[in-house]
Each structure stands twice: as structure tokens, then as C-alpha cells.
Structure 1
Amino acid sequence: MDPWKEEVEMISEDADTPRVALVTGSSTGIGAAIAKRLSREGFRIAVIARAEEHTHATVGWIRGNGGTAHGFAADLSRPEEIEDLFTRFDARFERLDALVNNAGMASIADSTSMPLRHWNRVLTLNLTAPFVTAQCAHPRMTQGGGGGGVIVNIGSVYSRMSVGRRAAYVSSKHGLIGLTKALATEWAPDGVRVVAVAPGYTETDHVRVAMEDGGFDSAAVVSRTPMGRLAHVDEVADAVSFVCSERATFVTGSTIYVDGGWTGYGGV
């Protein structure tokens, strides 16, 4: 039997497993670490990437370690694909307890010459898509006897501060914190918590490539970080795991910075 088809049958029969998490951008890096960590906490996982084949590594790891996962393809820059994603999600899972908005894109460009299409692309993926996924998640967390849930928006140290040549990225990540506060305030009566987790520079392939391409200097980043190193993906995943747990039931509308002291450093 096709192992991917077999897992679909397993999910439909596994109605007693208590919790389900949908993690966007979870094929690699921070998103994959979050999906794996939540799986170890007992969540069934919907792994989301732009192409379904990109989900196979994370899905395979979760299944190989005794968890339940299914991969979905969606271009989150297109609202209609987000809506279709949740329709397909409903065919595999009967509930939704946690949404992690991790998918996003970095951007380095001079503000004097940045094309508007570039600005729109960054804002669409980093800010509009999390809003649309949250809109889709809310009724699935609250209707039909749902007891609520948690939405985790993955921000950045640049959700709080700025640096040159990153106008689109910084604006999108600042906006994501505003969205977190707004939805947390509005949806608290519905039992839906909304929290942001904001990593500093983290050891991922994307960061490594950016360093190699001259986007920033690794030594400068390390020297700027009070703890003297980059974050590990598992450290970010641990923070998300806490937010999604019963230990964080009174945490909403706030931002947890996992940055080794970056945002607290005064530069002296």
C-alpha cells in the first residue's frame, strides 16, 4: 500500500486523539522543528508547504516517530488557496486546536528603488496570509462544540526594532504583532488565544544562505547578541510548544522573544 494513502486512512480512524495543529511553512527550518515538537506533545499535525512533495520529510519524520501527520500544498499568498487548504484539511481532520503561522519571506532591498510588487509580495505572505488563515481557523476552533484554541504568529526581532534595507519585512513583522494584539482582544471571549513568538537570528538553511550571499555577517550577528550565538530551531519550537500547552492558558495578546537578549541590548 502507498504509505501516503495509508496515513489518510489512519487519520480518519484516529478520532480519539485529542489535538490537531496546523503549521504553515513546516517543510524545513523553524516550521519543521515546531511541527515535530508539537507532534511529540501529542498533536496530530497538518504540515503545510508550497508543494506537497516538500512536506514529505517532515511528515515522514513524524510518522517514523509514532506521530500522525498529513501534508498539504498551498500557496498562502493566494487567499483562495488558503480557503481550499482548509477544505482539504476538514476532509482529513475533525478538529483544529492550534494554528502556527510560520510561513513567510525575508526581504533585503533599498527603499528608494524597491518595486511596489516586491512590497506587496512581502506584506501579502507575511501579514495578509496569517490574517486569512486565522479567519479560517476561528470557526473550526469554536463551532460545533469546539472549546477554542490557540493561534501562534511567528514574528521576529524586527517585530520590535529595525535595520536598513528591510522596510517591507520590518513593516510586515511589526504589523503581525498588531494583528496578534487585535485578534487576541477580539477573540478572547470565544476561547481563542493569539500569541506571537519572535525569534532572533536562528540557525536555519535560509539564514546560512543569506549569510553566504552577503545579506549580513555572522560574526557581527553573534557579537550583537548578548548570549553570543544564534538560536537553535528547537529553542523556538519549545517556546511555541509552551504557548500551545495547558501551562499557557492565561497567555494571550503578548509576544515572547526568543532572541538571546537581542531586543534588550542597548548597544553600549
Structure 2
Amino acid sequence: MGTYVVTGSASGIGAATASRLREDGHYVIGVDRTPADVTIDLSTVAGRSAALERIVALAPNGLAGVVPCAGIGGFTDTDPTDVVSLNYFGAVELCAALRPLLVAPAAVVLLSSNSVTCQPGWAREIADLCLAGDEAEARTSAAAHDAVHVYPATKAALAWWARREGVKPEWIGAGIRINAVAPGMVDTAMTQRLRDDALLGQFADAYPSAIGRPGHPEEVAEVIAFLLSERARLVVGATLTVDGGTEAMLFPTGT
């Protein structure tokens, strides 16, 4: 059995993933802003550094995987710069810092979103600045946009980072696979907050679903558990859409 780091472990997909891994007998180090094994805010450089220090202390024998689920939605009252810092940099900077602790065969699964393909009009330049590793400039650019258009940009950057970094010698060459999942509407506290948003709530259930309902966090966690396992050893640098058919219905011949 291995040791896994799951951020955003206190709720939603993060909590479901942590639970799923524990059911399989793994040791999970939960990271969250609310009480967890490591209670920390990953939206800041200082928070990431402190998280790394605590995780190192809790994983003396190394890690089998990392699942950075911590994130914030693009709600009307959300600071768009926080979306950049937590969703993207809070994920990839921690993953990069934890790479020396990952003991092959190991895996990283990032949390992207089908909003990348299903939501029009998001800010591509923010995704590019994220991939360039320039947090200050990405935050500056985000400040000029509504958070709703920043959220998909961060999720696109996560998927592209998985694709770009996943094939590099320091990752797959060292026996560490990187992939991402792209959920659609999943029944979590975040999506309930979206429904309650005075401006954006009307769009919460606007996208179709082939299965006729939102997903459940546990359903996404099953896919994440698969990607972490050696059963997915041929899957490298990929993003798996897990949205009940929404993207397929909107773009039947591809995006």
C-alpha cells in the first residue's frame, strides 16, 4: 500500500478521492484550508512551502501519488487572482516540489474541467501565462477579467501542463505518470454555490447530460483511482473527460 497526497481533501471530489484511496488500504495525507492532516492555504507561496515541509515529515518513505484537487470556482463574488493562485499554481507548484518524494511507479492526477471545451469566451492569455510559470503576470491578467472566465483558463492550463510535463524524462522517464481528469457538473458544495450565485446560477444546469443528472464525487474518484493505479500504466499526459456525456452532446464530431 502507498502514501498519497490529496489536496482539497475536506470536501467534494477531494474528499471522495481520499476516501476511495483509504478504502483500498492506502495512507492519505489530506491537505485543505479547513481541518486536515495539513491545514494550509495553497494559494500562497508561503502556504505551499509550509505544506511541503509538513508532507515531507508525514511521508518518510516517500509518496506513491499526488492528487491536487484544491480549487475555487469562478463565482461572481470571487477574486479572479485567487482562482489563478489556488487552482493552477497551488497544484503544479506543489506537484513539482513533491516530485523528489515520488517513488516509482507513481502517479499524479490533476483536476481539470469540461468548462475548458464547453464554456465559451474564457481568457486564453491567462492559461498561457500560467504555463509560462509567471504567477505575478497571470494574476495581473486575471484581475482584468471576471472570475467566471478565469476558472476555465486555469483548468486548461492544468490539462496542458499534464500533457507537456507528463512526457518529460524527469516525470515519465523516472516512472511517474501525470494525467488529468475533466469533470463536468458534479454534485458538490461548489456546484451548489454556483446554483446560489445571483448572476451565474441560471447557467448551473444549462448544459445537457447524456445520463440526465449531475455526477457524484465518488464517480470521479473512481476514475482518479484508476489513473493512479498500475492498471493505467499506458496512460501518460492524457486528460480524461468525466462529464456524463456533456461534451460529446455539445460537440458530436469533436471540439
Shift of residue 128 of structure 1? 1.2
Runs of 4+ aligned residues of structure 1 deviating over 2 Å after TM superposition are: 117-120, 163-166, 212-221
CA deviation vs aligned residue, 1:215-237 (integer Å, no higher than 9, x gap): 2347844x611211100111000
Name which of 14, 32, 52 aligns with 1:86.
Answer: 52
Mapping for residues 62-77 of structure 1, pairs under 5 Å: 71-77=37-43
What residue is the counterpart of 2:154 in the other structure? Answer: 172
* Residues 1:210 and 2:177 are matched in the alignment: no
Name which of 132, 135, 140 aligns with 2:93.
Answer: 132
Shift of residue 46 of structure 1? 0.4
Alpha-carbon RMSD: 2.1
Contact 2:195/2:204 (8 A) holds in 1? no
What residue is the counterpart of 1:26 in the other structure? Answer: 9
Number of equivalences: 223
Within 1, Cα distance between the matches of 2:105 and 2:24?
A: 18
Higher relative contact order (CA 8 A, sep 6+): 2
Unaligned runs of 5+ in 2: 122-145
Letter in 2 for 1:179: W
* Residues 1:232 and 2:212 are matched in the alignment: no
Within 2, Cα distance between the matches of 1:108 and 1:212?
A: 10
CA deviation vs aligned residue, 1:139-194 (integer Å, no higher than 9, x gap): 111xxxx3241111011111333246621111111111111111101121111100
Flag the 1:228–1:267 CA change in 2: closer, same or farther, 3 A: farther
Contact 1:159/1:176 (8 A) holds in 2? no
Paired residue secondary structure (2:250): coil
Letter in 1 for 2:71: G
Identical pairs, percent = 28
Name which of 106, 112, 116 aligns with 1:159.
Answer: 116
Shift of residue 31 of structure 1? 0.7
* Residues 1:199 and 2:183 are matched in the alignment: yes
Name which of 210, 219, 228 aligns with 1:244.
Answer: 228
Contact 1:159/1:177 (8 A) holds in 2? no
Contact 2:159/2:239 (8 A) holds in 1? yes
CA deviation vs aligned residue, 1:41-79 (integer Å, no higher than 9, x gap): 22100011113xx33xxxxxxxxxxxxxxx111110112
CA deviation vs aligned residue, 1:8-60 (integer Å, no higher than 9, x gap): xxxxxxxxxx3001000010111100000011122100011113xx33xxxxx
Unaligned runs of 5+ in 1: 1-17, 56-70
Within 2, Cα distance between the matches of 1:206 and 1:120?
A: 18
Letter in 2 for 1:105: I
Letter in 1 for 2:188: T
Within 1, Cα distance between the matches of 2:94 and 2:167?
A: 17
Letter in 2 for 1:181: R
